[in-house]
Amino acid sequence: MPELMGGLRVGIDVGGTNTDAVIMDPQDRLLAKVKHPTTPDVTTGILSALQRVLGEVDGAAERVTHVMLGTTHATNAILERRNLNRVAAVRLGGPATQAIPPLSSWPPDLRMAVSCGETIVDGGVEMTGEPIVALDEDAVCRFLESVREQAEGVAVSGVFSPVLSDQEFRVEQLVRQVLGDVPVSLSHEIGSLGLLERENACVLNAALVAVAGRVTDGLSNAMRAHGIAAEAYIAQNDGTLMSLDYVRRYPILTIGSGPTNSMRGASYLTGSTDALVVDVGGTSTDIGILSSGFPRESSTAVEIGGVRTNFRMPDLVSLALGGGTILRESGGVVELGPGSVGFRLTSEALVFGGSVPTLTDAIVASGRGGGIGDATRTTAHTDLLLRCLAACAVRIEEAVDRVKTSGRELPLIAVGGGSGLIPETLAGVAGVHRPENYDVANAIGAAIASVSGEVDRVFSYGKDGRDDALAEAVRLARDEAIRAGADPAHVEVVEIDEVPLAYLTEPVARVRVKAAGPLKTH
């Protein structure tokens, strides 16, 4: 084992089946790793995993300087419709957007769990930044008064507010005057141009504020309980990190962080910057593409819990296949899930003495289990298990084809505790690679992550000039990265996209800038 020194980092990632934790030194060498079953309340599993991994390295708690967590708390809250804030949704778009009211496309049960009222008031701007009509401040105040007793958060969304956000900021001031210290989410800080998808993302963000508070408080309390005086960060869905304060304001950015952690970990473990990554967990398999060492982002609207959104998310194909997937046969046809034993895998799977055939049993029966469980317990089910494994390979090949954007064959990196599901050869890829420590790639990805900030706005070049507009976008992206916890002295711009918009009376362009830097240290 490498010599122990200060500057240790702890990476933790919560999955549907296991919570993984690692300790890495300043040279990014892995010192310890553990896998602990995810608990029903999630937080207990995090505490236990942290305790176990610290116990693997003598004196680690005093030497840890950073703790990074990838969590499914936000995703689970939306999918399960629980622990969500009641949100008042304010759209600044009248009279132009009355045809489609806020949240009209939401699943009824999610809308009932989240919304305590919606309104459309006069306001919004043109794509050039010119006001459509004046903001109706009186209407805003009347609506806020009507939801005073129910609102636990407010979501403010204006037509083309990413171009000019003054009206959203003004409504935030009115919320403070009427409702006091209620969390406010502003859509221009979360999504891009499309109003309905951006509004949806903004409302979901406001609904998740309390969840974020519980996660950040729980992590802080766990660190104190173990004597860790360190900086804490939460992984976000572009493969980088956020400070705890940033997470409390933008909790929706943690959705999708699990697969991106695995992809960043896969890049680190193999040295590959351009590759396909298949992350096989206990309940699902996620397939994505690494581009320049980071997950490729989706260019289309992404659905979360039945709601279309347009904030940044990794471009993934997800399958309801994992180590805990339940296997059956009906009329001579094998059935793969979609049910899963989840975190009960170690008690219900055949190889662990249970009675439920799972994909983990199929992996073990094929000889790709790496010593997991008792292989003799699969003998009576061998035919079913091997046929299911062959069916899985076909579905994975089809999913790989869907995620690819060209005919070029890329190497495929298989990671995750269930990656024995991936055969040694697959059609359409330039070889299958299963690196050492593949089973904790997700926690490693969290531990090595940097911090980023991103701006996606529309600028009018006629008013500010192109050079001034680009300089402003770069400044805003750098400021976002620093707010998220990056070292101000080492923040660099890593990506600039500029898309001119046609058919307008003056030059206008959508500008997206991403800045990233190493973690701030004290």
Calpha distance 311→168 (Å, rounded)? 18
Calpha distance 168→158 (Å, rounded)? 7
Report whether 17 contacts 343 (CB < 8 A): yes
Find the range with the poorest average confidence among 294-298, 400-404, 463-467, 474-478: 463-467
| pLDDT computed for residue 353 by the predictor | 95
Split at pLDDT 50, 70, 90, the class of 522 is: low
Residue 64 sits at the vertex; the CA angle it makes with 61 and 67, to the nearest 5 degrees, is: 110
Select the more confidently predicted residue: 466 or 154: 154
| pLDDT, tens digit, 9 for 90 and up, residues 129-159 | 788 899 999 999 999 999 999 999 999 999 9
DSSP secondary structure of 24-64: E-TT--EEEEEEEEPPTTSHHHHHHHHHHHHHTSTTHHHHE
Split at pLDDT 50, 70, 90, the class of 2 is: very low
Calpha distance 436→419 (Å, rounded)? 12
Q: Mean pLDDT across the chain, nearest whole number?
A: 89
Give me 40's structure tokens.
């029903």
Q: What class does CATH assign to 85-207?
A: alpha beta
Report whether 369 contacts 360 (CB < 8 A): yes
| pLDDT, tens digit, 9 for 90 and up, residues 431-443 | 999 999 999 999 9
| pLDDT computed for residue 242 by the predictor | 86
Split at pLDDT 50, 70, 90, the class of 36 is: confident
The yes-or-no verdict on residue 101 having pLDDT over 80 is: yes
| pLDDT, tens digit, 9 for 90 and up, residues 234-251 | 998 888 888 899 899 999
| pLDDT computed for residue 427 by the predictor | 86
Determine the average pLDDT of the residues in 54-70. 91
Residue 159 sits at the vertex; the CA angle it makes with 256 and 459, to the nearest 5 degrees, is: 85
Q: Alpha carbon of 259 to those of 236, 296, 325: distances in Å?
A: 10, 12, 18
**Nearest in space to 421 (alpha carbons), one of 370, 378, 382:** 370
